[in-house]
Amino acid sequence: MRIQHAGETFRKEDEIPVKVQLFVSCLADMVRPEAAIAAVHVLEKRGVGVEFPEGQTCCGQFSYNAGYQHEAAVMARHFVRVFESGTQEDPTDILALSGSCAATVMHTYPGLLYEDALQQGEPETKAREWKKRAEAVAGRVHEWSMWLGEHADQPMAPNGSPLPVAYHLGCHMRRLLPESRKAQDLLRALGIDAREPENAEECCGFGGTYSFTEPVVSTALADDKLANVQNLVQDAGAVCLTGADLGCLLHLEGRLRRQESSLPVCHVAELVELADQNRLTPDQVRQLEQGGGK
């Protein structure tokens, strides 16, 4: 299905609006709700109904990648229960505000829930049932910006030169979600000149709990990444650092602030909302950082 845009709402009058469920991720929920709020506004503007299952917490990727598989499975089962409830007859797409979380649900959940059920002494049939439930949920999960680029037409890009930004494509989105590089096309269509820094395919050093347990190496990697981002600021006039994964972005932002840099850092949804409102200027982007964008 493709959502057309017409006039102010980018929505075809006679089309029944689609509905999606939003998984905002723990990080957006707690420290960058503006990203999730922008994501809601952007979807609604395109005629997409947003449902937010309020029982949601975290996908459990932190625990899984640190080797705590049972702990991850506890959170994964919770995720599956939350997102399968009330959707039996009408399964909607689940849009995740993080490429990395989306990859976890898609690639890790089925095997994890199967294995953990067996580990907990459940019979094979029960384990297989968990696997099936996980697969059903996994099949509905998409990263937010990739879904938007694929399913919704965008308003015409404003006249004038596009706004250059530094775009960070996180490793899991890059390597585990097929065609993820297309996510940048969405931004370009909206008048955002998304540019990847040099050595873009190199990890920023976040790595989930790695950023806590190995701060030294994690930060050395961040500094390499940020040096290349700063080059984009200097050479291409990039006005901010953006991306679809708040884990990477908060890690890089934390480093920038410790080094007294005021380069704005924001989630792509915040930029898309600015574009929707025709407010895509360096000033408005700077205000996002101060929470003034809302």
Partner 1 sequence: MAGQLPYDNRPWPERRDAALQNQTMRHTIGFVTRRFTLIKGEIYRTSPDLEASRKTAVGQKRQAIRDLPQLLEQFRNQVERRGAHTYLAAQAQDAVDIALNIARSHQAELVIKSKSMVTEEIELNQAFEKAGIPVRETDLGEYIIQLAKERPSHILAPAAHRNRHQVEELFQADASREKISPPQSDEIEDLTRYARSRLRQEFLRADMGVTGGNFLVAETGTLVLITNEGNADMVTSLPPVLVSIVGVEKIVRDWASLTEIIQQPAMSGIGRHLSSYTTMIQGPKSPGSVEGPREWHVILVDNGRMALRDTEFEDVLSCIRCGACLNACPVFREVGGHAYGSVYPGPIGIVETPLLTDFQVLPELPSALCTLCHACQEACPMDIALPDHIISLRHTIVKRHLNSSTVNWTLRTWARFWSTPGGYRRSISLARVMQRLSGKKRNAQGLFPGIFAGWGQTREIPQVAPKTFHEWWQEWKERAEEK
Interacting residues with partner 1 (CB under 8 A)? 24, 26, 28-34, 36-37, 40, 52, 54-58, 60, 62-69, 71-72, 74-75, 77-78, 171-172, 175-176, 199, 201-203, 205-222, 224, 250-251, 253-255, 257-258
Residue with smaller CB distance to partner 1, 169 or 232: 169
What is the nearest approach in angstroms of partner 1 to the Cβ of residue 146?
Answer: 18
Interacting residues of 113 by C-beta distance below 8 A, sequence separation 6+: 73, 76, 77, 80, 127, 130, 131, 133, 134
Residue with smaller CB distance to partner 1, 138 or 192: 138
Residue 171 to residues 59, 163, 180, 244, Cα–Cα distance (Å): 17, 24, 10, 11
210: closest CA among 100, 95, 80? 100
What is the nearest approach in angstroms of partner 1 to the Cβ of residue 71?
Answer: 3
Residue with smaller CB distance to partner 1, 211 or 284: 211
Look at the block and give the residue holding tokens 């700077």. 286
Helices marked H in 198-245: 210-213, 215-236
Question: 193 in helix, strand or coil?
Answer: strand
Residue with smaller CB distance to partner 1, 40 or 157: 40
What is the dihedral sign for C-alpha 244, 250, 251, 252? positive
Count Cα atoms within 13 angstroms, Cβ side, for 152: 30
Residue with smaller CB distance to partner 1, 79 or 167: 79
What is the nearest approach in angstroms of partner 1 to the Cβ of residue 201?
Answer: 7
41: closest CA among 229, 198, 201, 271? 271
What is the nearest approach in angstroms of partner 1 to the Cβ of residue 4?
Answer: 24
In this structure, are residues 131 and 114 in contact, taking their beta carbons and an 8 Å threshold? yes
What is the nearest approach in angstroms of partner 1 to the Cβ of residue 75?
Answer: 5
What is the nearest approach in angstroms of partner 1 to the Cβ of residue 286?
Answer: 18
Structure tokens at 229: 């981002």
What is the nearest approach in angstroms of partner 1 to the Cβ of residue 246?
Answer: 9
Residue with smaller CB distance to partner 1, 182 or 258: 258
Residue with smaller CB distance to partner 1, 25 or 154: 25
What is the nearest approach in angstroms of partner 1 to the Cβ of residue 136?
Answer: 20
Distance between start and end Cα atoms, the chain: 31
Residue with smaller CB distance to partner 1, 77 or 140: 77
Please report which helix (H) or strand (E) contains residue 166, including its range.
strand 163-168
